[in-house]
Structure 1
Amino acid sequence: KRPVPTWGRLSWFDFDTEIDWKAYMAEVEGWDSLDLSLITPPLPPSYPAGFVYIFMGLYYVTNRGTDIRLAQHIFLGLYLATLLLVFRIYSQTRRVPPFVFFFMCCASYRVHSIFVLRLFNDPVAMALLFLSVNLLLSQHWSWGCGCFSLAVSVKMNVLLFAPGLLFLLLSRFGLRGALPKLGICAFLQVALGLPFLLENPAGYLSRSFDLGRQFLFRWTVNWRFLPEALFLNRAFHLALLAAHFSLLTLFAFCRWPRSGESILSLLKDPSKRKTPAQPLTIVSVLFTSNFIGVCFSRSLHYQFYVWYFHTLPYLLWATPSRWLTHLLRLLVLGLIELSWNTYPSTSCSSLWLDQHVKSPHLSC
């Protein structure tokens, strides 16, 4: 039977559609070994401590990970909660027409599969991230930073939002006021990881935050059109990193709003600022920061689509553009979706994604 995520009728279909769920369960099952450096293949790379705690809870709720049907219903609830969080963000900015929400809910088979059938940890991290954005929009900055840190503790892709968050903290509080908020983020990482840090700090950090991880060419969605030797080349990785930082710097100096003040004004006391950060500013800075990181990722796997899927409508509709009509924006979304639904990825689908993923930059 073909696995189709039909809401409320999951029992009609085969449930054994997980990809990493059993590996996740095997990892948390042995968490009494606090030395993560001892975890070896065939298990996937270890994740930070927040992942261990959350999936340990799921392990016990789902009868030691064997009740995949229950796990999928839990992730269905997570999917609906994520949509509510995203809709609240969009309602605050008032820049995306309501009809786009229908496409966000119904148009992506890939996203439905990632959430409800495949049971990846990426949706958990992104749900916490969108909760963090909602808290920031409500001016609960300390709680928002804490929730952001929780999201990072599930999967470190959330760090792609970190440059934008740092910009917002400096913009809102100045250097001195931003330090306590950054301290909250750091404290939670240390507190959550303390059992592992006490056992083997180097092993925990190297496995949970492995920035040098080598991705497999067979799974790449965005660089399939490149020769495998180039894809694996460290010089290519460094070039992507340099381009990532360069574009972030360009946006910080030229695109992210600062009420007409210079970049150095971010270091000033907030009482000397002209205006505080507004909802549109908060969402724009965070979403573009993440999108830039996605564009220059060393590899994107299919589950990584949720890293930015729910931000695409904002990136396309936030800033008026004469040539980007509603129809063209929907076409861009459709072409991106088509690229992510091509399995296995091809040179053509990868090039298609690479070209059309640049379109949202034009409206950032």
Structure 2
Amino acid sequence: MAASMWKKIRSSVSRDNLYRLVFDPQLAIFSMCALLIAEIAVNILVINKIKYTEIDWKAYMQEVEGVVNGTYDYIKLRGDTGPLVYPAGFVYIYLALYYITGYGHNIRLGQYLFAGLYVLSLVVLFDIYRRTNKVPPYVFLFMCCASYRIHSIYVLRLFNDPVAMFFMYLAVNFFLRDKWGIGCLMYSLGVSIKMNLLLFSPAVLMLLMVRFGTLKTIWYLTICAAPQVVLAVPFLLENPVGYILMSFNFGRQFFYMWTVNWRLIPEELFHSKYFQSALLISHVTVLILFFLFKWRRLYPGVNFSLWMKESNTTLSPNQILLPLFTANLIGMSFSRSLHYQFYVWYFHTLHYLLWSTAQPSIVNILVLGVIELCWNTYPSTILSSSLLHMCHAVMLYGLWFSPDYTPMGKKKTTAKVN
């Protein structure tokens, strides 16, 4: 009798622990460790079993080879896919890869380096997520092994987008640790590789103002600006106008054939300046609306003005992540064009954003699945583009009514994980 009762108790405890390992965000560390090990195996398998596809690697190598040969005029730096259009940080990163991979010829070594970058990125992301206590452990399976497109971007294409995002997530991690100086430095280094990180900048500016007030924010903005100048010195000395025009060209046109999000409109409208202006206005408008009616609720007692005072308290993870990741999603939603490698710009933030809404988990999983389907549809179709916009709209609607903006939600944001 006693033995039977003990067996039932032990079985119950076992089931309870198993349930918590799957659904309890506070125990997510166990699934994270298991997934990191799995990802090492998955990346090795992908590299050895799936054929590498040449898209931009050769062009990257040609562009930095121009610098090796003594060309510092950005207008003259080109590859097979066109002129060099990334800031100076890109040149230094891919110059290092140029030498490490035997002048770009040892592509397999480059793939393993990007596999290492992928795993390191997950380590940083998992550290970010464990601090939120918001996302159930089972969700990380969708973040890791379930996305073919993300693995492709990293180890089958060797794009610069994952490199820039690695620095972005490093910056976010330092922000969470209240180390804003080094966080701003990491953010600036990321922008120097690819300027898509500027989509986070409205939220970064707001967070600096909330945490440090106006005067100290000027200092942190200086930290953000300084690397851009220092890294660009050789190119600025040669042709400053050419460098600025090429590396920070906000008016650059995209090819309709590669668009993921705007296949539902005619190509003529896609290239229209009026359409692009409308997108920019919509982008700015939604940012302002979120700031005025949502983000400010995260910081009770803060008096928002041009001249703000420094806060004596550190910001909670949700007070930092929710505006940052939402600002980036808004930018993606109103982007003039999204190419397939741009998926990595927001993929790893989708899970946090979806579980910041009040939507049922099944709806969140469905949204993740449809988004993955849209980004894996090549070439994009009217249906895939339309579904992608619908998913973005569902997410923004859910975030607008996020519990974090309610009084009860605010209480949750004060919890910190050390």
Checking the alignment, whether the CA contact within 8 Å between 1:315 and 1:361 is kept in structure 2 is no
- Could you tell me which residue of structure 2 aligns to residue 22 of structure 1? 58
Counterpart in 2 of 1:335? 370
Whether 1:87 aligns to 2:126 is yes
Q: How far off its partner does 1:42 sit?
A: 3.3
Q: Which runs of 5+ in 1 are unaligned?
A: none
Which residue in the other structure is 1:13 paired with? 49
Q: Please list, as runs of the form range in 1=range in 2, the aligned pairs for 1:38-187 lying within 5 A after superposition.
A: 38-40=76-78, 42-46=80-84, 47-187=86-226
Residue in 1 that maps onto 2:237:
198
- 1:192-341 matches, cutoff 5 A: 192-256=231-295, 257-261=297-301, 264-265=304-305, 267-271=307-311, 276-319=314-357, 321=358, 324-341=359-376
Q: Contact 2:75–2:83 at 8 Å: present in 1 too?
A: no
Q: Does the Cα contact within 8 Å between 1:336 and 1:356 map onto a contact in 2? A: yes
CA gap of 1:266–1:92, structure 2 versus 1, over 3 A, is farther
* Conserved? CA contact 2:52–2:157, under 8 Å: no
Q: CA deviation at 1:103?
A: 1.2
Partners of 1:95 and 1:293 in 2: how far apart?
A: 24
The 8 Å contact of residues 317 and 363 in structure 1, kept in 2 or not, is answered as no
Alignment partners' CA distance in 2, 1:88 and 1:44: 38
Amino acid at match of 1:269: K
- Residue 349, structure 1, aligned to residue 384, structure 2: yes
Higher Cα Rg, which structure: 2
C-alpha displacement at 1:251, in angstroms? 1.1
One-letter amino acid of the counterpart of residue 301, structure 1: H
Give SS of 1:161's match: helix
Counterpart code for 1:243? S
Q: Partners in 2 of 1:87 and 1:267 — Cα distance?
A: 36
Maintained 8 Å contact 1:26/1:43: no
Offset of 1:95 from its aligned partner?
A: 1.0
Structure 1 residue 45: Cα displacement: 4.1
Give the Cα–Cα distance (whole angstroms) in 2 for the partners of residues 262 and 250 of structure 1: 18
On the 8 A contact 2:63/2:78 being kept in 1, the answer is: no
CA distance 1:14–1:98, shift in 2 (3 Å) = closer
1:8, CA displacement in angstroms? Answer: 2.2
CA distance in 1, matches of 2:140, 2:298: 30
After superposition, the Cα gap between the structure-2 partners of 1:318 and 1:14, relative to the gap in structure 1 and judged at 3 Å, is closer
CA drift at 1:357: 1.6
Deviation at 1:264, TM superposition (A): 2.6
Once the 2 structures are TM-superposed, how far is the Cα of residue 177 of structure 1 from its aligned partner? Answer: 1.0
CA distance in 2, matches of 1:220, 1:249: 27
Report the secondary structure of 2:43's partner residue: coil
Say if 1:354 and 1:230 are closer, same or farther in 2 by CA, change over 3 A. same
Q: Name the CA distance, whole Å, in 1 between partners of 2:237 and 2:150.
A: 38
Runs of 4+ in structure 1 displaced over 4 angstroms? none
Helix, strand or coil for the counterpart of 2:385?
A: helix
Change (3 A) 1:88 1:43: same
Q: 1:255: Cα distance to partner?
A: 1.0
Of 286-295 and 30-39, more deviation after overlay is shown by: 30-39
Alpha-carbon contact 1:15-1:68 (below 8 Å) kept: no
Tell me how far apart the structure 1 counterparts of residues 71 and 185 of structure 2 sit (CA, whole Å): 27
Contact 2:189 2:227 in 1 (8 A): yes
Q: For the Cα contact (< 8 Å) 1:73–1:116, is it kept in 2?
A: yes
Q: Which amino acid aligns with 2:80?
A: P
- Distance, in Å, in 2 between the alignment partners of 1:11 and 1:146 is 32
Q: Is the 8 A contact 1:76 1:116 kept in 2?
A: yes
Shift of 1:270: 1.5
**Residue type matched to 1:241 in 2?**
L
Shift of 1:20: 0.2
- Change in 2 beyond 3 A, CA 1:361/1:349: same
Task: Give 1:85 deviation, angstroms.
Answer: 1.0
What do residues 42-74 of structure 1 show as CA deviations (whole Å, max 9, x unaligned)?
Answer: 344421111000000000000000011000000
Q: TM-score, normalised by structure 2?
A: 0.82
Q: CA deviation at 1:287?
A: 0.4
Percentage identity across paired residues of the two chains = 52
For these two proteins, the number of residue pairs brought into alignment is 355
1:356–1:288 distance in 2 versus 1, CA, 3 Å: same
